[in-house]
């Protein structure tokens, strides 16, 4: 069970999202639990295909869940409709990876940004104009560019517009899905700094998704590592970066070297091979086929999630002694 705290803005328990493809069931998210406190940044990391995007989308009710619960500030997004659902849509937002793909090329910036106000019936033309200008300024785009089309902007500017669009309804929780992954490294830093500034100014909460552990490390307060639809480890950033317990987390660190060198030398190399299919995950620990430490038990039985004292939890048979079982 995820720890439930009073100041949690988002509580997710045993969430499952399945897709049916032909005769097969893809278990994209397969029993994920976590909480995010108001004002916190939770980083979600894992290789492509681990279920990060599906998790982010399900939390915002952009996908249907198969099982489990989502609570946003005491609202169950799957139990509401009408005005309540509209309010949930206003209070949450998403920023996508590829700004070129997510911004309609035929719409001007002011149309792209004011659309949400129009859909939600907020304000009139004057109000839309005022709000678009204010949010553009806030995200580092000159309001004079409001009549331009997306192709007239650079990649970094486009992502600023993507961020601006997500802010139009003054959301409280934003899911950022690979928000900087398509950008050059120097531009990544600018967008990350913008996101961190906006978070402070607007008292936002982020679910920050990326396959790139070094980006997640830079941004997050806590880090949650996913592998094949499940959480394998989660801890406050310093705890997990200084003392990663799961061999998969250690392998991600080898693949995405940190600016912090203290954890180097664990002897674990970046993993080879691909994430297995979530259609027929191997029995036992999903990571066992790629794990340098796997024993017969790892191949036979999925390890329990073990909660440690320091807010660190891990699902690995190498670490089942120190804490209490959680499932
Ligand atoms: P990530 O964001 O970590 O790369 P995704 O959430 O996109 O992972 O995908 C997790 C798994 O679910 C992948 O195997 C992917 O192919 C599958 N998947 C995602 N969306 C769909 C869908 N709409 N239909 C079928 N399978 C899907
Ligand atoms: Mg994704």
- Residue 194 DSSP code: H
Within 10 Å of residue 269's Cβ, how many Cβ atoms? 11
Cα(65) to ligand 1 centroid in Å equals: 14
Using pLDDT thresholds of 50, 70 and 90, give the confidence band for residue 107.
very high
Q: Quote the pTM value.
A: 0.93
| Per-residue pLDDT tens over the stretch 229-258 | 999 999 999 999 999 999 999 999 988 876
State residue 98's pLDDT score.
Answer: 76
pLDDT of residue 215: 95
CB contact at 8 A, 256 and 238: no
Ligand 1 pocket mutation, candidates 25, 32, 45, 54, criterion most atoms within 8 A of CB: 54
**Structural class in CATH, domain 8-325:** alpha beta
Paired strand residues for 225: 45, 233
Task: Count CA atoms within 13 Å of residue 167 on its CB side.
Answer: 24
Q: What is the pLDDT of residues 152-166, one digit of tens each?
A: 999 999 999 999 999
Which residues are near ligand 2, the ion (C-beta closer than 5 Å)?
A: 53
Give the Cα separation of 165 and 154 in Å (integer).
Answer: 16
Residue 174 CA to ligand 1 center (angstroms) comes to 20
C-alpha 308 – ligand 2 centre gap (Å): 29
More confident residue, 296 or 280: 296
For residue 273, the SS3 value is: coil
Residue located nearest, by CA, to atom 27 of ligand 1 = 19
Asked whether 26 lines ligand 1 (CB < 6 A), one says yes
Domain ranges in the chain are 8-325
- Asked whether 261 and 301 are in contact (CB, 8 A), the reply is no
Ligand 1 within 6 A of 281 CB? Answer: no
Cβ of 149 below 6 Å from ligand 1: no
> What is the per-residue DSSP string for 299-312?
HHSPPPEEE-TTS-
Residue 24 predicted with pLDDT over 70:
yes
- Phi/psi of residue 239, nearest 5 degrees: -60, -50
pLDDT class of 86 with cuts at 50, 70, 90 = very high
Asked whether 52 lines ligand 1 (CB < 6 A), one says yes
Instruction: Tell me which long-range contacts 102-107 makes (C-beta under 8 A, separation of at least 24).
Output: 102/162, 103/150, 103/158, 103/161, 103/162, 103/165, 104/150, 105/149, 105/150, 105/151, 106/149, 107/149, 107/150
């Amino acid at each position: 069970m995820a720890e439930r705290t009073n100041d949690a803005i988002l509580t997710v328990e045993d969430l499952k999202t399945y897709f049916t493809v032909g005769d097969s069931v893809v278990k994209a998210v397969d029993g994920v639990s976590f909480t995010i406190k108001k004002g916190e940044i939770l980083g979600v990391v894992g290789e492509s295909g681990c279920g990060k995007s599906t998790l982010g989308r399900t939390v915002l009710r952009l996908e249907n869940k198969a099982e489990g619960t989502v609570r946003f500030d005491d609202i169950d997004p799957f139990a509401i409709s009408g005005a309540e659902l509209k309010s949930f849509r206003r209070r949450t937002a998403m920023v996508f990876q590829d700004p070129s793909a997510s911004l309609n090329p035929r719409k001007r910036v002011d149309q792209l940004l004011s659309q949400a106000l129009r859909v939600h019936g907020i304000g009139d033309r004057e109000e839309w104009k005022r709000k678009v200008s204010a949010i553009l300024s806030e995200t580092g785009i000159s309001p004079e560019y409001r009549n331009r089309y997306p192709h007239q902007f650079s990649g970094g500017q486009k992502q600023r517009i993507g961020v601006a669009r997500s802010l139009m309804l003054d959301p409280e929780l934003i899911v950022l899905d690979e928000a900087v992954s398509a950008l050059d490294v120097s531009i990544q830093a600018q967008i990350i700094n913008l996101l961190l500034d906006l978070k402070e100014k607007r008292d936002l909460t982020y679910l920050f998704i990326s396959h790139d552990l070094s980006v997640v490390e830079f941004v997050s307060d806590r880090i949650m590592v996913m592998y094949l639809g499940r959480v394998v480890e989660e801890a406050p950033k310093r705890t997990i970066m200084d003392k990663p317990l799961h061999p998969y987390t250690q392998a991600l660190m080898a693949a995405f070297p940190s600016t912090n060198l203290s954890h180097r030398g664990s002897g674990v190399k970046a993993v080879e091979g691909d994430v297995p299919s979530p259609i027929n995950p191997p029995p036992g620990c999903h990571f066992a086929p790629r794990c340098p430490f796997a024993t017969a038990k790892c191949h036979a039985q999925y390890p329990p999630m073990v909660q440690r004292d320091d807010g660190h939890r891990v699902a690995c048979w190498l670490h089942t002694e120190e804490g209490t079982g959680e499932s």
